[in-house]
Amino acid sequence: MGERIVVLGGGIIGLATAFECQRRGHEVVVLEKVACGGQASGAAAGMLAPFSEIGEDPDDFFRLCLESLKLYPKWQKEVKEVSGMNFEYTNSGSLHCVYHEADLLALETRQQWQGQFGAKAEILYGEDLFKLEKELSRDMIAAMYYPEESHVYAPDYVKALEEGCRKLGVKIYDYLEEVTLHSWQSEITMVAKDGRTFSGDRLVVSNGAWAKELETVLDLSIPVYPIRGQICAYNIPVGKVKHIIYTSQGYLVPKANGTLVNGASEDIAGFNTAVTEKGIRRLTNWNKNVLPFLEEEVPFHTWAGLRPATQDGYPLIGTLSNTPEIIFAAGHYRNGILLSPVTAHIVADLLDKKQEIVPLTSFSPERFS
């Protein structure tokens, strides 16, 4: 029989989890302080790029990201079908570009170990690279081409997930301003600012950069911190840039609607989501070294979001050992859009007592306590 699940936070992680749990027969309620998708999830560039993001070592986090990338083709189709809404999902491939011969060894090392995990990865040099992406700066000497890396248009993906949840029967309560955990001993009871209470059998903590709020009430160390990402977008002719382009100083993602998304800074500014001139300038000053035509262009839109970072860079996913009524799904830092399907499946599998699709020990929410 299905359980009554209360999901705290209506970002991509909370909504994806609600979507998966409801369609498996649970009865889900999402509680959101402000607007669903109004924080990090709506601000993201939407890259699904585990090979570009994790270049150092094959660890449990890399495996988690890889599992999620594999789930995406089916997952995004299902979200579209259930919601009746479309959103961009583009298999663009990506180019991880380098400028110096000394960087080639690192590319070769990456290619070798990622290849062992089935990654398609090809190093392209000089003219072969420029044939694939014509506008690239001729100062580059090579790039790793990852044909399987892709991207979604994150604001539309969140909207479709929210609609999909509603269509499945998830009850979404937004603009609650404040929601606190009141008790969990006999059943989960959450209280909103206006005094309304919400109860359930289980609580999923998916309130992103705000997860630390539960530290005192749960007597648990939850080192999740907001890392501000400032980001901007240019208007360019559709098709002028074809791939996600990574360099050591940032990335550029060409969207189907003609915007070229350029991110992102990593600054510590508490819960402040203001955009600073310095933050954006740091991104745009570099762009002429990547795509020289951008020297003449000015971004038409700038924004910022708060990535939920943890002390060791890994998310918190799993059940509390002495309080199995509480499941964490928070701290996804730079990869929450990529990790949304796998997180949703893991939480639903925990509820349904199914075999874990990846080992969860490294992601234990209690590892800092």
Ligand X SMILES: Cc1cc2nc3c(=O)[nH]c(=O)nc-3n(C[C@H](O)[C@H](O)[C@H](O)COP(=O)(O)OP(=O)(O)OC[C@H]3O[C@@H](n4cnc5c(N)ncnc54)[C@H](O)[C@@H]3O)c2cc1C
Which parts of this chain interact with ligand X (CB under 6 A)? 8-14, 31-34, 38-41, 43-47, 179, 206-210, 213, 229, 231, 263-264, 305, 307-308, 330, 332-338
Between 14 and 164, whose beta carbon lies closer to ligand X?
Answer: 14
Task: Answer yes or no: are the C-beta atoms of 315 and 330 closer than 8 Å.
Answer: yes
Give the other-Cβ count within 10 Å of 136's Cβ.
19
Least distance from C-beta 206 to ligand X, angstroms?
6
Using DSSP's 3-state secondary structure scheme, residue 119 falls into coil
Residues 6 or more apart whose CB falls under 8 angstroms from that of 144 comprise 51, 52, 95, 96, 107, 110, 111, 121, 122, 123, 124
Least distance from C-beta 24 to ligand X, angstroms?
20
Least distance from C-beta 253 to ligand X, angstroms?
7
Between 123 and 269, whose beta carbon lies closer to ligand X?
Answer: 269
Between 121 and 161, whose beta carbon lies closer to ligand X?
Answer: 161
Between 142 and 329, whose beta carbon lies closer to ligand X?
Answer: 329
What are φ and ψ of residue 97, in 5° steps? -95, 145
Structure tokens at 136: 């690239």
Least distance from C-beta 42 to ligand X, angstroms?
7
CA 245 – CA 146 distance, rounded (Å): 11
Least distance from C-beta 92 to ligand X, angstroms?
12
Between 114 and 142, whose beta carbon lies closer to ligand X?
Answer: 114
Look-up of token digits 């009850």: 171
Task: Answer yes or no: are the C-beta atoms of 253 and 45 closer than 8 Å.
Answer: yes
Using DSSP's 3-state secondary structure scheme, residue 205 falls into strand
Between 142 and 255, whose beta carbon lies closer to ligand X?
Answer: 255
Q: What share of the chain is helix, strand, coil (3-state, %, to 5)?
A: 35, 30, 35
Between 142 and 341, whose beta carbon lies closer to ligand X?
Answer: 341
Instruction: Compute the CA torsion angle 299, 305, 310, 313 (nearest 10 deg).
Output: -30
Write the CA distances from 84 to 91, 279, 340, integer angstroms: 21, 38, 19
Least distance from C-beta 5 to ligand X, angstroms?
15
Least distance from C-beta 331 to ligand X, angstroms?
8
Between 142 and 207, whose beta carbon lies closer to ligand X?
Answer: 207
CA 254 – CA 261 distance, rounded (Å): 6
Least distance from C-beta 127 to ligand X, angstroms?
30
